[in-house]
């Protein structure tokens, strides 16, 4: 707020208190971000346009009914070109990661990233969800594996920090119930810890 007060004083010779600056900032953010309902109302029209541009894509919008309104739950984005590029050219490695979106509405961006022949990152798909938990990871992975045609996970390496989906359940999910293999995770000390998952 001090910067705003100084700028107003230098540029316009105005002296304002902090309360005025806070109200002005709040009003400006509301104008810039728009109302939450307006943004959610535009999601369906955005999906229709994406489907028009990429007819063999996979986009999923999950909305929950709440009394008199609808509440955004999740949005899966899977472009056909990225899917085809991963299946044809990339290495059989999928890195799962999360990024927390610190906006007016707290949410999380879950992503699946592959590795191409030059060992560079290759985005496969992503999903925006209300928060990171086992249910949202399961929803994302189910759609991702259906999208990529992954049945048993053989020959595929999946890298994850496994914070919200512990190793045993993660491997069972990937292999469709036939869970055998090794999961490597990082411990709090930063060292890699291997564990057998049977």
pLDDT digits (tens, 9 = 90+) for 13-32: 989 999 999 998 888 877 76
CA dihedral sign of residues 34, 36, 42, 46: positive
**In this predicted model, which residue has the larger pLDDT, 101 or 193?**
101
- Is residue 97 a contact partner of residue 113, using CB atoms and an 8 Å limit? yes
Structure tokens that stand for 78 in this block: 């899977």
Q: Is the pLDDT of residue 131 over 90?
A: no
The average pLDDT across 135-159 equals 86
- Tell me which range, 45-49, 123-127, 169-173, 178-182, is most confidently predicted by mean pLDDT: 123-127
Find the range with the poorest average confidence among 110-114, 131-135, 150-154, 178-182: 178-182
Q: What percent of the chain has pLDDT over 70?
A: 76
Structure tokens that stand for 158 in this block: 């999946």
H helices present in the chain, as ranges:
2-12, 18-33, 36-53, 80-89, 134-148, 167-174
- Tell me which range, 38-47, 146-155, 177-186, is most confidently predicted by mean pLDDT: 146-155
Q: Is the pLDDT of residue 165 over 60?
A: no
∠ CA 24-30-36, nearest 5°, is: 160
Quickly tell me which residue has 């999923």 as its tokens: 60
The pLDDT mean for the chain works out to 78
The candidate with the shortest Cα–Cα distance to 137, out of 159, 111, 156, is: 111
Q: pLDDT tens for residues 25-80?
A: 888 877 766 666 677 777 888 888 888 888 888 888 888 877 777 777 888 999 99
Strands 91-102 and 106-115, how do they pair? antiparallel
Strands 121-129 and 106-115, how do they pair? antiparallel
pLDDT value for 152: 76
Cross-strand bridge partners of residue 62:
74
Torsion of CA 100, 106, 112, 114, to 10 degrees: -40
- Rounded distance between C-alpha atoms, residue 25 and residue 8, angstroms: 13
Cross-strand bridge partners of residue 183:
195
Q: Is the pLDDT of residue 92 over 60?
A: yes
pLDDT value for 37: 64
pLDDT value for 194: 40
Find the range with the poorest average confidence among 18-32, 64-78, 107-121, 183-197: 183-197
């Amino acid at each position: 707020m001090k910067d705003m007060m100084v700028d107003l004083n230098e540029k316009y010779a105005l002296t304002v208190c902090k309360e005025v600056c806070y109200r002005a900032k709040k009003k400006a953010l509301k104008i810039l971000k728009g109302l939450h309902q307006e943004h959610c109302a535009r999601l369906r029209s955005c999906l229709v346009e994406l489907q028009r541009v990429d007819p063999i894509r996979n986009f999923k919008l999950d909305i929950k009914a709440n009394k008199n309104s609808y509440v955004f739950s999740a949005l899966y984005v899977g472009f056909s070109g990225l899917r085809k590029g991963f299946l044809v050219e990339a290495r059989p490695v999928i890195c799962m990661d999360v990024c927390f979106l610190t906006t007016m509405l707290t949410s999380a961006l879950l992503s699946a990233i592959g590795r191409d022949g030059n060992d560079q990152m290759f985005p496969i798909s992503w999903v925006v969800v209300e928060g990171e938990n086992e249910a949202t990871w399961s929803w994302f992975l189910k759609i991702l594996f259906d999208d990529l045609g992954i049945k048993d996970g053989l020959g595929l390496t999946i890298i994850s920090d496994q914070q919200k989906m512990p190793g045993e359940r993660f491997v069972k999910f990937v292999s469709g119930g036939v869970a055998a293999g090794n999961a490597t995770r990082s411990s709090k000390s930063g060292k890699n810890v291997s564990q057998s998952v049977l």
